[in-house]
Amino acid sequence: MKKMSIKEVASALQISTATVSYILNGKAKEKRISPELTKKVTAFIEENNFRPNHLAKSLRTGKTNVIGLIVEDIADPFFASVAGHIENVAYENGYKIIYSSTKNDPKKAKELIDTFRDRNVDGYIITPTEGIDSEIKYLIDSKLPVVLFDRNCNDLDVSYVGMNNFESSYQAAKYLISQDYKNIAFVTLDSVQPQMIDRLLGYERAIYENRLVSYVKKVEYRAAKEHLIMAEIEHMLNTEPHIDAIFFATNYLAITGIELLNRLGVKIGEELGMMVFDDNDLFRIHQPSISAIAQPIQEMSQQLINDLLEHMQDTNEYTNRTTVLPAHLIIRDSSSKTRKNA
Amino acid sequence: MKKMSIKEVASALQISTATVSYILNGKAKEKRISPELTKKVTAFIEENNFRPNHLAKSLRTGKTNVIGLIVEDIADPFFASVAGHIENVAYENGYKIIYSSTKNDPKKAKELIDTFRDRNVDGYIITPTEGIDSEIKYLIDSKLPVVLFDRNCNDLDVSYVGMNNFESSYQAAKYLISQDYKNIAFVTLDSVQPQMIDRLLGYERAIYENRLVSYVKKVEYRAAKEHLIMAEIEHMLNTEPHIDAIFFATNYLAITGIELLNRLGVKIGEELGMMVFDDNDLFRIHQPSISAIAQPIQEMSQQLINDLLEHMQDTNEYTNRTTVLPAHLIIRDSSSKTRKNA
DNA sequence: CTGTTAGCGCGTTCAC
DNA sequence: GTGAACGCGCTAACAG
C-alpha cells in the first residue's frame, strides 16, 4: 500500500512519465495527447488513487503552495482570528499556512523569516517586530511576496494592511470629551511600536484640540504582571484624583484595569468613563458595558490574503499597496456619565 | 544573490558534494574527514551563508520536519491557545506547524488529512470530527505518528490527550448540589461528540445520585445564532420556573446565556446558580464572577506535543498512550446562593 | 584512514 | 507523444 509514483503509473500504462505529467497538469490538449489516452490515464489514476509527490513537484517548480504567517502570538485571540480568516481563503486557493509566533522578539522574528525562507514558502504575512526591516527588505529584494500587517515598517516599500490607529483613537477620545469627561487618562504600554504610538497621538490630539490636560500612563511592556499593572493604575488614580475617564490602549490592560476598578468599587461610566482598544465579549457583556474600538478583523484579513495571493500570482506586475482600514467605534455604556441602564 | 547549492560549495572548494554533506550533517568524524577540511568547509558555508535546500533534503529523506495540526477552528481561543503552546515546543525541536480548521465538517477533515499526507507532514495532531475514523486508521496503518485530542475515537488504537469531561462535569454538578441548588438545568449542544456526551452524563450522574430531576436543554448545533440560543433558554426558564441553577456545557452557550440573564435582570448566584465549561476572562471579571471548569490547556498541550515528538522519534517502539487530565474546577461567586461580594 | 562516485527520491519540461 | 536532463541533497559502496 506504499505510495505510487508517476513512473509506476507510466510503466503500468506503457507510456512515458512525461505524458502522465502533462495529463495531470491539464496540459493534455496543449501537448496534443489523444482524448482516449487522457481518459485512460485519468481513470487509472483515479482507480489507484495516485497522488503526485508534492515535495518532488515543489523541488522542481520552486513552488510549495505554502504561506508563512508570522504573528506576534498565535494564542492571542486577535491574531488567531486573523489566522482563521486567512486560512479560509488560502485553503480555497490551494494554499496551506505555516505559522510561527515572534513573541515580539526580534531575534526570533529573524530566525523565523530565515526558516520560512529555507522552506521555500511562496509568500509571507508578517507582523513585524522592531529591527527586522533589513530581513524584510531582503525578502522584497529577492522578489518574494510579502504583506505586512498590524504594524508597518515606514521605510520599506512593501504592502501593508492595518487599521487607522491614529484616527480611531482620536475619534474615541473626542467622543469621551463630547460626553463631558474633562480629565481623561490614557493607559498604554511603554512601546515604540508604531500602532501604539499612533494610538497615543490620536488621544493627545483630541486632548490638545480641546485644551485639556493629558495624563499618560505607560506600563512597562515586558512580562507586565497583572498586579503590577493594577498597582500602577491605582497609583495613578490616587495621585491624580480628578481623572474622570480612562482610555486603555489595549485589551489586556483594560481587562486588568476593569478587574481593579471593580475591586475598588468604582462605578464605571458614572464615576469613571472608559474606552478600550480591541473589542471583546467581555466588554459587551460587562455591566455596565464597555465602549470599545473594534479592529476590522474580517476586512483586514480579507485584504491581507487578497493582496498576497495577487502578489504571488504575478510577481512582476504587482505593485505594493498600503491599506489602512477604519476601525469600528462601538459606543456602549461606559463612555457616558448617564448610563442607559443605570 | 541566488541560492547556492551544495554542488557549488563542493566545486568551489574542489571537493565532492558527499564530503560537504557529511560535514553538514555532523558526520565528519564518523566519516573520518580531517578536522582541517571540516573547518574549512564550515567556514566557507558560514561565509557564503549556504543553506541546504530543505525540499531536496525532504525529498531524499522523507522527513519534512512539519507537524500537521487539524483543529475544529484555529480562531477559537481554546484551540489557538493549544496551537501556541504546541508551537513553542515544536519550534525548539526544529519542527514547524501547518494548521487547518475542520469547522467540524467531516468532509473537510478528510480532505485535510489527505492534503497533509500529500505534503508528507511528519506527524499529526488531530481534533477528530465524526466519521473520520477510517481516515485516521489509515494514517495509523501507514505507521504515521498521530495524536488525537479534545475528542477521542473510541474504536481506534491511537494516542489521545484530553481532559476528564465526565468526572469534572460530575464534580461541578455535585458542587452545585452541595450549595443547595435543587433544580439544575444543563444547557448543551445537540451534538454526539464524545466530550459533549461525557459532560452531559457527568451532570446526570450527579443529579440521579441525589434523586434530583434533570433538565436538559439541547441547543441546535449548526450555526446556532445568538438570538436563537437566547430564545431557547428563555423558553426553558419560563416553562420550568423552578429551575434554580444552570450548568452550561460550553463557553459560547454560557456567554450568550449571561447576556440574556443580564437583560432579564436575573441575579446570577442568588436567584440562579451558574457553572460553565471552559474558563474565560469574562467569567473571572463578571460581577458576580462565574464558576467554571477550566481545561488544563497547558498540560494537555505539553502532553500532546511530547507524545507526538516521541512517536516521531521512534516510530516502531512507540506504544500509544491515552492521557486524560483532570480539569480545574474554579469556584467563584455564581455557584453559591450567598454571594461573597453581595 | 580520507574522500569520491554514482544512484536515488520523483515530478517537470525542453527538444525531438 | 517520448527520452532524458534537471531541481538538490543523501548515502551506500568503493578507490586510493
How many angstroms separate the CA of residue A92 from the nearest CA in chain B? Answer: 11
Q: What 3-state class would DSSP assign to B278?
A: coil
The Cα diameter of chain B in Å comes to: 88
Q: For chain A, say whether B284 makes contact (Cβ under 8 Å).
A: yes
Output the distance from A22 CA to D10 C1' rounded to whole Å: 29
Output the distance from B50 CA to D9 C1' rounded to whole Å: 13
Mean pLDDT for A264-268 is 92
Q: CB distance B77–A77 less than 8 Å?
A: yes
Cell of B219: 441547543
Mean pLDDT for A94-99 is 96
Give the pLDDT of residue B225: 83
Banded model confidence at residue A269, pLDDT cuts 50, 70, 90: confident
Cα–chain center distance at B41: 44
Question: H helices within chain B, ranges in order?
Answer: 6-13, 17-24, 35-48, 54-61, 77-92, 106-118, 133-141, 165-178, 194-209, 226-239, 251-264, 281-285, 297-313
Q: For chain A, say whether B47 makes contact (Cβ under 8 Å).
A: no
Closest residue in chain B to residue A261, using alpha carbons only: B285
* Residue A214 and residue A203 in contact, taking contact as beta carbons nearer than 8 Å: yes
Whether the link from the prior residue into A77 is cis, omega within 30° of 0, is no
* Residue A278 and residue A250 in contact, taking contact as beta carbons nearer than 8 Å: yes
Q: CB distance A87–B97 less than 8 Å?
A: no
- Taking CA atoms, B113 is separated from B58, B133, B339, in Å, by 19, 11, 49
Give the pLDDT of residue A22: 94
Q: What 3-state class would DSSP assign to B100?
A: strand
Banded model confidence at residue B29, pLDDT cuts 50, 70, 90: confident
* Residue A215 and residue A184 in contact, taking contact as beta carbons nearer than 8 Å: yes
Q: Enumerate residues 189 to 248 of chain A having a beta carbon within 8 A of any beta carbon in chain B.
A: none
In DSSP terms, B328 is beta-bridged to B294
Interface probe for A, chosen from B121, B282, B301, B333 (most Cβ of A below 10 Å), is B282
Q: Which residue is nearest to nucleotide C1 (CA to C1')?
A: B32
Which residues in chain A have Cβ-Cβ distances shorter than 8 Å to B229?
Answer: none
Per-residue three-class SS string for chain A? CCCCCHHHHHHHCCCCHHHHHHHHCCCCCCCCCCHHHHHHHHHHHHHHCCCCCHHHHHHHHCCCCEEEEEECCCCCHHHHHHHHHHHHHHHHCCCEEEEEECCCCHHHHHHHHHHHHHCCCCEEEECCCCCCHHHHHHHHHCCCCEEEECCCCCCCCCEEEEECHHHHHHHHHHHHHHCCCCCEEEEEECCCCHHHHHHHHHHHHHHHHCCCCCEEEEECCCCCCHHHHHHHHHHHHHHCCCCCEEEECCHHHHHHHHHHHHHHCCCECCCEEEEEECCCHHHHHCCCCCEEEECCHHHHHHHHHHHHHHHHHCCCCCCCCEEEECCEEECCHHHCCCCCCC
Higher pLDDT, A208 or B34: A208
Mean pLDDT for A301-327 is 91
With a cut of 80, say whether residue B185 has pLDDT above it: yes
Banded model confidence at residue A1, pLDDT cuts 50, 70, 90: low
Which residues in chain B have Cβ-Cβ distances shorter than 8 Å to A57?
Answer: none
Tally of CB atoms within 10 A around B19: 19
Q: What 3-state class would DSSP assign to B188?
A: strand
Q: What percent of chain B has pLDDT over 70?
A: 97
Q: CB distance B84–A91 less than 8 Å?
A: no
Which residues in chain A have Cβ-Cβ distances shorter than 8 Å to B54?
Answer: 118-120
Whether the link from the prior residue into A288 is cis, omega within 30° of 0, is yes
Interface probe for A, chosen from B76, B85, B96 (most Cβ of A below 10 Å), is B96
Give the pLDDT of residue B139: 93
Banded model confidence at residue A342, pLDDT cuts 50, 70, 90: very low
Q: For chain A, say whether B326 makes contact (Cβ under 8 Å).
A: no
Q: CB distance B83–A80 less than 8 Å?
A: yes
Q: For chain A, say whether B98 makes contact (Cβ under 8 Å).
A: yes
Q: What tens digit of pLDDT does each residue of B216-246 get? A: 999 987 666 888 899 999 999 999 999 999 9
Q: CB distance A74–B66 less than 8 Å?
A: no
Q: CB distance B118–A54 less than 8 Å?
A: yes
Q: Which of B181, B219, B227 is closest to B203 using CA atoms?
A: B181
Q: What tens digit of pLDDT does each residue of A14-27 get? A: 999 999 999 999 88
Work out whether the CA dihedral B297, A115, A308, A105 comes out positive or negative: positive
Banded model confidence at residue B213, pLDDT cuts 50, 70, 90: very high
With a cut of 70, say whether residue A340 has pLDDT above it: no
Give the pLDDT of residue A166: 97
Cell of B53: 535546500
Which chain D nucleotides are covered by protein, judged by CB under 7 A?
Answer: 1-13
Give the pLDDT of residue B222: 61
Which residues in chain B have Cβ-Cβ distances shorter than 8 Å to A51?
Answer: 114, 118
Burial class (CB in 10 A: 0-12, 13-18, 19+), A157: exposed
Q: CB distance B96–A119 less than 8 Å?
A: yes
Output the distance from A59 CA to D7 C1' rounded to whole Å: 6
Q: CB distance A258–B285 less than 8 Å?
A: yes
Per-residue three-class SS string for B206-248? HHHHCCCCCEEEEECCCCCCHHHHHHHHHHHHHHCCCCCEEEE
Mean pLDDT for all residues in chain B: 92
Cα–Cα distance, A152 to A162 (Å, whole number): 8
Q: Which nucleotide is nearest to B57 (CA to C1')?
A: D9
Out of A80, A119, A284, closest to residue B74 by CB: A80
Q: Enumerate residues 260 to 279 of chain B having a beta carbon within 8 A of any beta carbon in chain A.
A: 262
Q: What percent of chain B has pLDDT over 90?
A: 78
Closest residue in chain A to residue B286, using alpha carbons only: A286
Banded model confidence at residue B338, pLDDT cuts 50, 70, 90: confident
Banded model confidence at residue A29, pLDDT cuts 50, 70, 90: confident
Q: For chain B, say whether A63 makes contact (Cβ under 8 Å).
A: no
Helix axes B106-118, B133-141, angle to 10 degrees: 20
Cα–Cα distance, A26 to B287 (Å, whole number): 62
Banded model confidence at residue A211, pLDDT cuts 50, 70, 90: very high
Banded model confidence at residue A224, pLDDT cuts 50, 70, 90: low
In DSSP terms, A245 is beta-bridged to A184, A273
CA atoms within 13 A on the CB side of B86: 36
Mean pLDDT for all residues in chain A: 93
* Residue A236 and residue A243 in contact, taking contact as beta carbons nearer than 8 Å: yes
Banded model confidence at residue A196, pLDDT cuts 50, 70, 90: very high
Q: CB distance A56–B51 less than 8 Å?
A: no
Burial string for B267-298 (b: 16+ CB within 10 Å, else e) reads: ebbbebbbbbbbbbbbbebbebbbbbbbbbbe
Banded model confidence at residue A324, pLDDT cuts 50, 70, 90: very high
Q: For chain B, say whether A3 makes contact (Cβ under 8 Å).
A: no
Banded model confidence at residue A154, pLDDT cuts 50, 70, 90: confident
Cα–Cα distance, A34 to A38 (Å, whole number): 6
How many angstroms separate the CA of residue A335 from the nearest CA in chain B? Answer: 18
User: Please, which residues have CB within 8 angstroms of residue A190's CB and are 6 or more apart in sequence?
Assistant: A218, A219, A220, A221
Output the distance from A190 CA to D16 C1' rounded to whole Å: 67
Q: For chain A, say whether B58 makes contact (Cβ under 8 Å).
A: yes
Closest residue in chain B to residue A91, using alpha carbons only: B100
